[in-house]
Amino acid sequence: MQSENRIFDDFVKFVNGAAGTFAGVAREAEGTARERAREWIGGLDFVSRDEFEAVKAMAAAARDEADALRARLDKLEAAAATSPAAPKATKAPRAPKAG
Protein backbone atom coordinates (compact mmCIF):
# COMPACT_ATOMS: atom_id res chain seq x y z
CA MET A 1 0.00 0.00 0.00
CA GLN A 2 2.87 2.33 0.82
CA SER A 3 4.41 1.71 -2.61
CA GLU A 4 1.15 2.57 -4.40
CA ASN A 5 1.01 5.98 -2.70
CA ARG A 6 4.59 6.64 -3.62
CA ILE A 7 3.96 5.80 -7.28
CA PHE A 8 0.86 7.99 -7.25
CA ASP A 9 2.81 10.85 -5.63
CA ASP A 10 5.58 10.54 -8.21
CA PHE A 11 3.03 10.58 -11.02
CA VAL A 12 1.34 13.71 -9.61
CA LYS A 13 4.73 15.44 -9.33
CA PHE A 14 5.50 14.48 -12.92
CA VAL A 15 2.15 15.82 -14.20
CA ASN A 16 2.55 19.08 -12.24
CA GLY A 17 6.04 19.55 -13.64
CA ALA A 18 4.83 18.88 -17.17
CA ALA A 19 1.96 21.34 -16.76
CA GLY A 20 4.37 24.03 -15.59
CA THR A 21 6.67 23.31 -18.51
CA PHE A 22 3.79 23.51 -21.00
CA ALA A 23 2.61 26.79 -19.47
CA GLY A 24 6.13 28.21 -19.85
CA VAL A 25 6.31 27.05 -23.45
CA ALA A 26 2.92 28.63 -24.15
CA ARG A 27 4.03 31.97 -22.65
CA GLU A 28 7.23 31.88 -24.69
CA ALA A 29 5.32 31.08 -27.88
CA GLU A 30 2.88 33.91 -27.22
CA GLY A 31 5.72 36.37 -26.62
CA THR A 32 7.47 35.28 -29.80
CA ALA A 33 4.24 35.58 -31.80
CA ARG A 34 3.62 39.08 -30.45
CA GLU A 35 7.16 40.16 -31.31
CA ARG A 36 6.86 38.79 -34.84
CA ALA A 37 3.53 40.57 -35.29
CA ARG A 38 5.08 43.86 -34.10
CA GLU A 39 7.96 43.45 -36.54
CA TRP A 40 5.58 42.67 -39.40
CA ILE A 41 3.24 45.57 -38.61
CA GLY A 42 6.20 47.88 -38.02
CA GLY A 43 7.40 47.16 -41.54
CA LEU A 44 4.11 48.39 -42.95
CA ASP A 45 3.23 52.05 -43.25
CA PHE A 46 0.86 52.25 -40.30
CA VAL A 47 0.68 55.31 -38.09
CA SER A 48 0.29 55.42 -34.37
CA ARG A 49 -2.98 56.44 -32.76
CA ASP A 50 -1.41 59.71 -31.54
CA GLU A 51 -0.28 60.66 -35.04
CA PHE A 52 -3.70 59.80 -36.45
CA GLU A 53 -5.49 61.93 -33.85
CA ALA A 54 -3.15 64.88 -34.50
CA VAL A 55 -3.75 64.77 -38.27
CA LYS A 56 -7.49 64.34 -37.69
CA ALA A 57 -7.53 67.49 -35.53
CA MET A 58 -5.55 69.41 -38.16
CA ALA A 59 -7.99 68.33 -40.88
CA ALA A 60 -10.98 69.40 -38.77
CA ALA A 61 -9.39 72.81 -38.12
CA ALA A 62 -8.65 73.26 -41.84
CA ARG A 63 -12.23 72.29 -42.73
CA ASP A 64 -13.61 74.81 -40.20
CA GLU A 65 -11.35 77.53 -41.59
CA ALA A 66 -12.39 76.74 -45.16
CA ASP A 67 -16.07 76.90 -44.17
CA ALA A 68 -15.52 80.28 -42.48
CA LEU A 69 -13.70 81.64 -45.53
CA ARG A 70 -16.43 80.33 -47.83
CA ALA A 71 -19.10 82.08 -45.74
CA ARG A 72 -17.06 85.30 -45.75
CA LEU A 73 -16.62 85.12 -49.53
CA ASP A 74 -20.34 84.51 -50.06
CA LYS A 75 -21.14 87.51 -47.85
CA LEU A 76 -18.71 89.74 -49.78
CA GLU A 77 -20.06 88.58 -53.14
CA ALA A 78 -23.64 89.20 -52.02
CA ALA A 79 -22.72 92.68 -50.79
CA ALA A 80 -20.94 93.45 -54.06
CA ALA A 81 -23.88 92.24 -56.15
CA THR A 82 -26.43 94.37 -54.27
CA SER A 83 -24.27 97.49 -54.07
CA PRO A 84 -25.46 100.16 -56.59
CA ALA A 85 -21.95 101.45 -57.17
CA ALA A 86 -20.51 98.02 -57.75
CA PRO A 87 -18.41 97.84 -60.88
CA LYS A 88 -19.56 95.34 -63.41
CA ALA A 89 -17.36 92.34 -63.83
CA THR A 90 -15.41 92.34 -67.04
CA LYS A 91 -13.87 89.41 -68.71
CA ALA A 92 -10.12 89.32 -68.97
CA PRO A 93 -8.86 89.64 -72.54
CA ARG A 94 -7.98 86.36 -74.15
CA ALA A 95 -4.54 85.69 -75.45
CA PRO A 96 -4.39 85.27 -79.25
CA LYS A 97 -4.27 81.72 -80.46
CA ALA A 98 -0.93 80.58 -81.78
CA GLY A 99 -1.43 79.39 -85.23
Q: pLDDT tens digits for 33-46?
A: 999 988 887 777 77
More confident site: 11 or 58? 58
Q: Who has greater pLDDT, 88 or 41?
A: 41
Q: What is the pLDDT of residue 2?
A: 52
Domain count, the chain: 2
- Residue 32 and residue 2 share a domain: yes
Confirm whether 87 is domain-assigned. Answer: no
- Residues 96, 29: Cα–Cα separation, whole Å: 75
Task: Tell whether the model's pLDDT for residue 73 goes beyond 90.
Answer: yes
pTM, to two decimals: 0.42
d(CA 91, CA 96): 15
Instruction: Give yes or no for residue 1 having a pLDDT over 60.
Output: no
- CA-to-CA distance for 14 and 25, rounded, in angstroms? 16
First to last CA, the chain: 116
Quick one: 56 and 25 in the same domain? Answer: no
Domain extent, residue 27, equals 1-45
| Exposure string for 65-94, b = 16+ CB within 10 A, e = fewer | eeeeeeeeeeeeeeeeeeeeeeeeeeeeee
pLDDT at 78: 93
User: Among residues of the chain, what percentage have pLDDT more than 90?
Assistant: 40
